[in-house]
C-alpha cells in the first residue's frame, strides 16, 4: 500500500512536525510529492502550534527534483517541471511566512530543491556529515525552491555565486562556516537536538517569539519579494527543462556508468533519481 510522502505529526508539547517520508527515493520531489508538500504546509499554516520542526525520514534530507520523473517527457518536460516547481514553491512560501519559529534538521544529502527546503527554517541544524550541493547547472537547469533568493542573503553574493555556479559540495560543518546553517552537530545528536530545540521554542513566550520573528523579517517587501522570485525561478527552470541541452544532460546523468576502477567515473554521492 502506498504511503503519503509527506506527513504531519502533532506533538502534545506544541511542536508540529512536518516529515518528508519517502526515504526509499531520497525524499525526491516529483509532482505527487511536491503537491503533498504544498497541501501539508497549508495545513500546518492553518494551525502551526508553538513551533514547527521540518525533518526527513531516512538517511537523506531531500535529493531535490526527481530526474527520473523529469526525463523522457519530450515537449511536456517544461510543463511538468513548472508544475512541480510551482507546488514546491507554494510550500516554501508557506514555511517562510509561518508566524512561529521553524526548525529544520538536515541529515545526509540536501541537493537541488532540498537546499531551499532546508534553508527556509529560522533555525537550521545540520549533521556534521550532511552534504549540501546545488547541482542545477550541472544538468543544464537553474535553482528553484528559493535557493537563489536565500543563498545571497545567508552567505553573501560571492559565496552564493560560488555554490550555484560551481556546484561545490559543503558538509554540515562547512555550511555552518558559510552561514547557511545555525549549528552543525554530531550526526547521532541531530534528531535529539532538533526535537529539543523545537520543544523549547514551543514552550517559550509565544507572543514574544512571534514578535521577535516579525522583527527579523520586518521588511514588508521580503515575503512579496520571495513570492515574485519563486515565480521567476519556476519560469526559468521550466524553460530550460524544455531545451535540448538540459534534456541531454539529464539523460546522461541518468545513464549507467562504468564502475570506478575500470576507467569510469564513480561520482559516489550522486543519486540516479535526483540532482544531488
Q: Annotated active-site positions, please?
A: 89, 144
Instruction: Write b or e for each residue in 108-128: b if 16 or more Cβ atoms lie within 10 A of its Cβ, otherwise e.
Output: bbbbbbbbbbbbbbbbbbbbb
Angle 202-208-211 (CA atoms, 0-180°, nearest 5)? 110
C-alpha cell read off for 217: 523579517
Q: How far apart are CA 226 and CA 219, in angstroms?
A: 12
**Which helix H or strand E contains 267, and what residues bound it?**
none
Place of cell 537546499: 115
Place of cell 508566524: 99
Angle 66-112-163 (CA atoms, 0-180°, nearest 5)? 155
**Which helix H or strand E contains 129, and what residues bound it?**
none
Give the CA radius of gyration of the chain: 18
Sort strands 123-127 and 109-111 into parallel, antiparallel or unpaired. Answer: unpaired
Q: How many CB atoms lie within 10 A of CB 266?
A: 11
The distance of Cα 239 from the centroid of its chain, to the nearest Å, equals: 21
Amino acid at each position: 500500500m502506498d504511503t503519503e510522502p509527506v506527513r504531519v505529526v502533532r506533538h502534545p508539547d506544541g511542536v508540529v512536525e512536518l516529515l518528508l517520508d519517502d526515504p526509499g527515493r531520497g525524499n525526491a520531489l516529483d509532482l505527487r510529492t511536491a503537491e503533498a508538500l504544498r497541501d501539508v504546509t497549508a495545513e500546518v499554516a492553518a494551525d502551526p502550534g508553538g513551533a514547527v520542526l521540518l525533518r526527513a525520514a531516512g538517511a537523506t534530507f531531500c535529493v531535490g527534483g526527481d530526474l527520473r520523473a523529469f526525463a523522457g517527457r519530450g515537449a511536456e518536460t517544461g510543463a511538468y517541471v513548472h508544475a512541480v516547481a510551482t507546488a514546491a514553491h507554494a510550500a516554501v512560501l508557506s514555511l517562510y511566512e509561518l508566524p512561529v519559529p521553524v526548525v529544520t534538521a538536515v541529515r545526509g544529502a540536501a541537493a537541488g530543491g532540498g537546499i531551499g527546503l532546508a534553508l527556509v527554517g529560522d533555525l537550521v541544524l545540520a549533521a556534521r556529515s550532511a552534504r549540501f550541493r546545488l547541482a542545477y547547472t550541472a544538468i543544464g537547469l537553474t535553482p528553484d525552491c528559493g535557493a537563489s533568493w536565500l543563498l545571497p542573503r545567508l552567505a553573501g553574493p560571492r559565496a552564493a555565486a560560488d555554490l550555484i555556479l560551481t556546484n561545490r559540495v559543503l558538509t554540515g560543518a562547512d555550511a555552518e562556516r558559510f552561514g547557511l546553517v545555525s549549528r552543525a552537530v554530531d550526526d547521532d545528536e541531530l534528531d535529539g537536538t532538533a526535537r529539543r530545540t523545537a520543544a523549547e521554542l514551543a514552550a517559550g513566550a509565544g507572543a514574544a517569539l512571534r514578535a521577535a520573528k516579525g522583527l527579523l523579517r520586518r521588511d514588508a517587501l521580503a515575503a512579496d519579494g520571495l513570492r515574485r522570485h519563486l515565480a521567476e525561478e519556476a519560469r526559468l527552470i521550466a524553460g530550460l527543462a524544455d531545451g535540448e541541452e538540459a534534456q541531454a544532460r539529464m539523460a546522461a546523468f541518468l545513464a549507467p556508468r562504468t564502475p570506478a576502477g575500470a576507467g569510469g567515473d564513480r561520482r559516489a554521492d550522486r543519486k540516479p533519481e535526483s540532482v544531488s
